[in-house]
Amino acid sequence: MPEYQHILLDKDSSQGIARLVLNRPERRNALNDRMQNELGDAIEDVAADDGVRVLVVSAAGQIFCAGGDLAALKGGSEPGAWVSDNVDDIRRSFRRTQRFMLGLQRMEKPVIAMINGAAVGAGFDLACGCDIRIATPKARFMVAYVRIGLFPGFGGTWLYPRMLGSMGKAAEMLFTGDFMEAEEAYRLGFLNKLVPEPDLEKTTLGMARKIANGPPIAIRLSKLMLYKGLEMDLETAMQVAAAAETITLTSRDHSEGTAAIRERRTPHYEGG
């Protein structure tokens, strides 16, 4: 496993759970180039590890992620801050962003965001890129790009209407840069669970264990179609569903699941 400077990665193969922690609390977990590269490396690592069935993304400190690190942008104070005015250099620099954001959705394993505080700009996009979100009342969300004259370069215009369930709410957040508080995020369905701060880790890991104990093949195929299905018409989606269901109907996991029901026991899924 590579050495990371700005994130932590722990993989527990006995439970099938990996935990990825944003670990720049002194910078409010803001994303600089190195951190984005490390996120890409970690996500590819987890995706390739058959011992992991679920990924939990969380953050050190009191802020989930403050977005892009302004100190790393043009005119910023961080060593190596962006200075190029070449548009092709700037455009190509987003490949590291695309690598980890697309990696979250391309990963066959479900991803749960454990959100302990504000998620702003690219941090909000990162939360949107996860499959499930669990947070405390301290969580708040902002599309901050408009406040500094930027376009959401992390995929936000695709993500927001899909994750918020409303083109109107997505437009409001895009155009105003106002905060969405945790209670509204839960009401809109953006947050799956809103729990007291002391219960955040217990609730998140409880869900992670439940998913990790489920049938891996069925869950992988279900995640695939959750996202690919957004771009398909119903007839195409049903044809793909027939192929996917054929795979699960002929799997050992399906036989194990039905046997466990008959025998009134907990199933043990091996992913075969």
Q: Using a pLDDT cut of 90, give the percent of the chain over it.
A: 82
Question: Which residue from 122, 105, 119, 114 is spatially nearest to 31, judged by alpha carbons?
Answer: 122
Question: Domain limits at 229?
Answer: 216-262
Q: Are 36 and 97 in contact (CB under 8 A)?
A: yes
Q: Are 257 and 269 in contact (CB under 8 A)?
A: yes
Same domain, 12 and 147: yes
Q: Which residues contact 75 (CB under 8 A, 6 or more apart)?
A: 81
Q: Is the pLDDT of residue 75 over 70?
A: no
Question: If you average pLDDT over every residue of the chain, what do you get?
Answer: 92
Same domain, 44 and 126: yes
Task: Please indicate, yes or no, if residue 225 is contained in any of the structural domains.
Answer: yes
219 CB-contact burial (10 Å; exposed 0-12 / middle 13-18 / buried 19+) = buried
Task: Please indicate, yes or no, if residue 272 is contained in any of the structural domains.
Answer: no
Q: How confident is the model at residue 140 (pLDDT cuts 50, 70, 90)?
A: very high
| Spatial separation of the C-alpha atoms in residues 63 and 71, rounded to whole Å | 17
| Tens-place pLDDT, residues 14-66 | 999 999 999 999 999 999 999 999 999 999 999 999 999 999 999 999 999 99
Q: Which residues contact 206 (CB under 8 A, 6 or more apart)?
A: none
Instruction: Count how many domains the chain has.
Output: 2
Same domain, 185 and 257: no
CATH (domain of 140): 3.90.226.10
Same domain, 235 and 118: no
Same domain, 143 and 236: no
Same domain, 245 and 166: no
Q: Which carries the bigger pLDDT value, residue 57 or residue 84?
A: 57
pLDDT at 98: 87
Q: Are 221 and 239 in contact (CB under 8 A)?
A: no
